Amino acid sequence: MKKIIAVTVMVLMAGLCFGQQPRVAITPFTVTSGNAESDAGTIAEIFGLELQAKNVVRVYTRGNIATVMSENRFQMSDLSSDEKTASIGKAANADWVVRGQVQKLGEVIVVTATLLDVNTLEIMGGAPMYLNTIEEAATKMNTFITTITQRITGGGGAGTAQGRQGGGVNTPGAQAPGIGIEVSTRVGGTLYFEDEELTVLWDNDTYTIPIERPGTYTVKIELASGASMVRTVTITTRGVTKLTFTRLGIGDLGPGGGIIFFAEGREYMEVSRILGEHTWSSALTTARNHRGGGYSDWRLPTKDELNLIYQNLRAQNIGNLGDTWHWSSSEGSSYAWAQYFSNGRQGDYGKASTVSVRAVRAF
C-alpha cells in the first residue's frame, strides 16, 4: 500500500532578471512497500533543495500543496487522476504539476517523476534515477533535477516553448539545416553526439541533431543507471536520418563500464576489459576485485557465459575483444576451462597456465 510521504510546493523561474516563469507544484511523493518512509522523505527533501540550488526555484509562498488540497477538499487519492491532479495544480496557481514515486526493484531504489501540464493534460515522463543506497541521492539528484528544469523551461507548456518544433522535436537553434539526425528514445537519458553532451532527453522524447556535412557519426544516450546505448550513423545524402533508441542491447555499455553480451527481457550481463593475464587462481581473485562502475559483484565468467561473450561479441566483431585465450570459472581437479577468441574453441588448461582474464556481472 502506497503512503504519502512528502509535501513541497515550489515555483520555477527562468532567471531572476526576467520575471516569473512556469509555476510548478510538487505534489506528495508516493512510496511502495519495501521502501523506508524516512528514506523516501530524505529523497523528497534533497529533491527540493536541488531545485533551489539551481537558482531557478523559489518556495511557493502561498502555502504548501496540502493546505491547498485541504481548502479545496481534494483527497490524496485524487492524485491518481490526471484531471483531478490538474485541478489541484490550478487551485495552487501552478502551470505544471510534478508527481514523484519512490519504489524498490530488488536492492535498487528507483525514483521517478512525471510532469502534468495543467492546461493540456499532457504528461511527460523522465529518466528514472537508480540508487544503490540512499546516500547516492545527494550526488545523483542534480542530473535528475536538470531533466525536470530543462523539460519545463524548454519543453513547451504554459507558454514556455523554446527550441522545439511541432511534433515535439527539440532542435538546437532556430532552424535545422538540410542534413540532420532525428533521435527518438523510449527511455530518457543524456544525449551525446561525437562524445559531446547535447541535452537531457525524457522518456519518449525526440531531438534533432543538425549535421554540417556527410560522414559517419557516433550518437550515445547515457542512462541514469550509468549504462549507455551507442549507435553509429552514416550520413550520405541530404534529409533527416531517423535513429531510434528502444532498450539496451548486445554491444551497448553496461553501468559498470563493460560491454553487454546478454540481454533478455530486463536481465543483462556485461563483460569487462582485459584485466591482465593470470594463473587460474589469480584470475578468480582479479575478477572478484574488479570494481568497474563502483560495483563489487564482478566475477570470472562460467564457460557457458564465456561462450556467450564469444558468440555475441567476438564472433560479431563487436567490442574489439582480441584473439587470446580467456579463463572461465568452470574447473576440474587440476585444470579449468578456457576459450580461444580467435576461433571460439574451448578446452581445458592447466591452472598454473597464464591466460587472459575478463570479469562479468549481471544487472
Mean pLDDT, consecutive 10-residue stretches, the chain (363 aa), reads 37 39 76 67 76 60 66 81 88 81 76 83 73 82 75 46 33 50 92 92 89 91 92 89 94 96 94 98 98 96 98 95 96 94 95 97 96
Parallel, antiparallel, or unpaired for β 24-26 and 96-105?
parallel
pLDDT of residue 176: 39
pLDDT of residue 21: 64
Contacts of residue 85, Cβ cutoff 8 Å, sequence gap at least 6: 27, 78, 79, 97, 99, 116
**Domain match, 350 and 241 both:** no
Cα three-residue angle 137-138-142, rounded to 5 degrees: 90
Indicate the number of domains in the chain. Answer: 3
Whether 251 maps to a domain, the answer reads no
User: Residue 86 is part of which domain span?
Assistant: 3-154
pLDDT of residue 287: 98
pLDDT digits (tens, 9 = 90+) for 249-268: 999 999 999 999 999 988 99
- In the three-class reduction of DSSP (H, G, I as helix; E, B as strand; rest coil), residue 149 is classed as helix
- The Cβ of residue 115 has, within 10 Å, a number of other Cβ atoms equal to 21
Q: Which of 335, 359, 339, 356 is nearest to 347 (CA)?
A: 339
pLDDT digits (tens, 9 = 90+) for 122-179: 887 655 777 888 888 888 887 777 777 766 665 433 333 223 333 333 433 333 346 8
Whether 254 maps to a domain, the answer reads no
**Domain match, 32 and 132 both:** yes
**Domain match, 25 and 79 both:** yes
**Domain match, 282 and 208 both:** no
pLDDT of residue 58: 54
**Domain match, 15 and 102 both:** yes
pLDDT of residue 52: 66
